[in-house]
């Protein structure tokens, strides 16, 4: 099992050395590059004012953050969530610099996790192209309309989608199913359980499209592979 954590932070500015502090952490757990449904999210009181420039980026005010926990109060649970997983971060030096600065303030050692920087990965795959998160979403056709302001958890969720595309997109996802080395209906059931989200995403099909698709599958006969997927989705037990 390959466990990774897609991570993002929000801060009061650009430099912990100049007194800027971390104010939000968002993490998405991936198992074999697929979101498992387990996330970690916390706001932190930076114990300082919020510069207007930073507020315009993430919308987190000093008033909103004043009753949130200090970083020291959540540092243990944060590290426990990370475990020894590889961290997947867009512009990793920035986030790691702030995280390790905060850990140092509370007398803890820096993170020792292996880190994959998706900025570097994107530059290798698309030399000369813009590699901001918004630019990569546009390139891969990923909907980021919700991203009117930066938010650590939302950006982690979007980055998880971008990361899969950087690795090869749907081809990687299909290969993960083959890795189970199970054939037939059992393989379909295993895929459904592993990739299941805690809350199902709303369908993008209209009622007429869904009806037409069902009719098309019905014509294939009971032995068709698509019919087995329909049956697996119908009988799958929702995650608790």
Domain ranges (residues) in the chain: 3-172, 182-235
Percent residues over pLDDT 90 in the chain: 66
Residue 143 is assigned to a ligand binding site: no
Query: What average pLDDT is seen over the chain?
Result: 84
What is the reported pLDDT for 237?
47
Architecture (CATH level 2) of domain 3-172: 2-Layer Sandwich (3.30)
What pTM value is reported for the model? Answer: 0.72
Number of Cβ atoms within 10 Å of the Cβ of 203: 9
Is the pLDDT reported for residue 182 higher than 50? no
CA distance 89 to 220: 44
What is the reported pLDDT for 19?
97
pLDDT digits (tens, 9 = 90+) for 192-202: 333 344 445 55
Residue 223 is assigned to a ligand binding site: no
What is the reported pLDDT for 234?
57
Least confident of 4-18, 53-67, 135-149: 135-149
Give me the catalytic one of 33, 90, 126, 150.
150
Residue 20 is assigned to a ligand binding site: no
The helix (run of H) or strand (run of E) holding residue 154 is: helix 152-167
33 is annotated as an active-site residue? no
Contact indicator for 42, 4 with CB cutoff of 8 Å: no
What is the reported pLDDT for 219?
75
Contact indicator for 73, 42 with CB cutoff of 8 Å: no
pLDDT digits (tens, 9 = 90+) for 211-240: 877 777 777 776 666 666 656 555 544 444
Query: Strand order of the sheet with strand 3-11?
Result: 34-43, 22-31, 3-11, 86-89, 115-117
What is the reported pLDDT for 24?
98
Residue 95 is assigned to a ligand binding site: no
């Amino acid at each position: 099992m390959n466990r990774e954590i897609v991570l993002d932070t929000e801060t009061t500015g650009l430099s912990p050395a100049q007194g800027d502090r971390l104010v939000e952490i968002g993490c998405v757990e991936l198992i074999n590059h697929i979101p498992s449904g387990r996330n970690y999210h916390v706001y932190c009181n930076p114990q300082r004012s919020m510069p207007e420039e930073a507020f315009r980026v993430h919308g987190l005010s000093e008033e909103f953050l004043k009753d949130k926990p200090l970083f020291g109060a959540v540092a243990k649970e944060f590290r426990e969530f990370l475990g020894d997983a590889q961290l997947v971060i867009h512009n990793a030096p920035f986030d790691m610099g702030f995280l390790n600065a905060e850990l140092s303030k509370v007398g803890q050692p820096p993170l020792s996790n292996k880190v994959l920087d998706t900025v570097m990965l994107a530059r290798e795959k698309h030399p000369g192209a813009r590699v901001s998160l918004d630019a990569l979403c546009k390139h891969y056709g990923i909907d980021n309309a919700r991203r009117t302001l930066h938010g650590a958890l939302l950006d982690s969720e979007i980055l998880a989608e971008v990361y899969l595309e950087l690795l090869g997109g749907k081809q990687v996802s299909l290969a993960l199913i083959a890795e189970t080395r199970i054939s037939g209906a059992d393989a379909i059931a295993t895929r459904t359980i592993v990739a299941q989200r805690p809350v199902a995403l709303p369908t993008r099909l209209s009622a007429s499209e869904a009806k037409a698709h069902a009719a098309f599958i019905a014509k294939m006969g009971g032995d068709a592979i698509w019919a087995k997927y329909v049956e697996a989705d119908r009988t799958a037990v929702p995650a608790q």
